[in-house]
A and B are shown apart, each in its own frame.
Chain A
């Protein structure tokens, strides 16, 4: 399958500031999180992918080069901006239909799809009210609807849960979560909110100070391919740890439990049980150890800062 985004040594400079430092990756998946702190380079990368900024290196979005095919890309891509972006005199239907027409839909089709997009965004009751009078949650929904109206194959969502209360946030995330299945489009969620990415995305691209820190699946970010397990025993924790180490298994003792990382050559959890029998300890708890996205993110950031000169 062709990657949604392909970057090859992408660099961007603003005067003396190097905003992007040689990004190279292929991004697959349908739900992609673009993670990074403020100033990490997310905005610059989005501008480059939309063909609004030139960059060194090779960029492909849906197989197209933004430097040459910017308009073709923007025809096939939707963008939900972070900040308010509406035309004050318009209601939601007019705004979405206008968005559709600017993307090339004929007037009737644009109007039909505006209604459908607003219905999807759960704004059907308020669609004839001026957008300027909408609450923050409604404005976020109308921004989503206008980004969807022209049938994008790829949707850039810039901090879509900004300013929403917990209920509104969950509703927005669910709307977004359903998009790939219901509309057949991939999404790129640009955010600094780790829980949003954790809840929604299957792939993550992590930027830090303009450099690519990670690109892969969420599972890979959390712990790589290695199988990590959390083990609690009744007594004899150190005996079990020693027995496992004898077998070449990586073991870390954390408070009252062991964190065991099995290799691909190990026979799964039976390695742990065999070691437990030989060490004469009773296993009381065995479960996969999953690092949170937050800890994985911090680990990646710390590693990047440790490497920095």
Chain B
């Protein structure tokens, strides 16, 4: 297993598309073609901040048919550990960044008979690329997009242009809200539902679908977690025989990387399971923040996802 190799890119355009969202266009630093991807893919953007290196996942929103540039949308997070603020405040046209190759953990099911896409806020970004994949496909689709207010509805022109009547916009300020029961109670057999956005929206869709008898294989969601802060702790890496201190606002993975040990990763958001690491010894408890391990695995205490999870412990030994 190898750590994802990075590509050097340069920022070629920045546009403030809503009060909170900036739209970045990136091109390969050597002017070449970027790696191919499918709708729903994300990249990891590596930012060299003054205090730490940020590595944040962002969905690609540009057309998979265009590989001269990648486009991403970045929402400025109120409680940021610095990544989104770095993107918003420090990047200028001409800035250079490192990115990891695209990975798709939120792809469209190619044999679906219908696609039901549900986005909340910045969760619209993977769907922008998927609409390009759906263009010309035979399966029908609907896109339901919920935002705070019209001024927060990012990329609306592009969406209207692509989806036309298939776009349904809901603004909190207009007291419009998605009719989840209506939407999920009568979809034809072979429909797949995809949801991306805040945890509340995802939970609502997943719970409603389950209530109406949808099997898990037809329900797809993606939410990247930022690594939550927590208590400081120390970890001993058994294979490399070193001890690493994890401060409250650094993730376990970041701390291990800062000590010079590479941890394999793809998403850095608790989704993909790639960084899953064996726990050899533990005195205390693990604080699981991922969406990958099952509840049984989490309570078992034998596995941890160092990208987002932490520990409250006096001793932790990992198989790294």
Same complex for A and B? Answer no
Chain B residues with CB under 8 Å of chain A are none
Chain A residues with CB under 8 Å of chain B are none
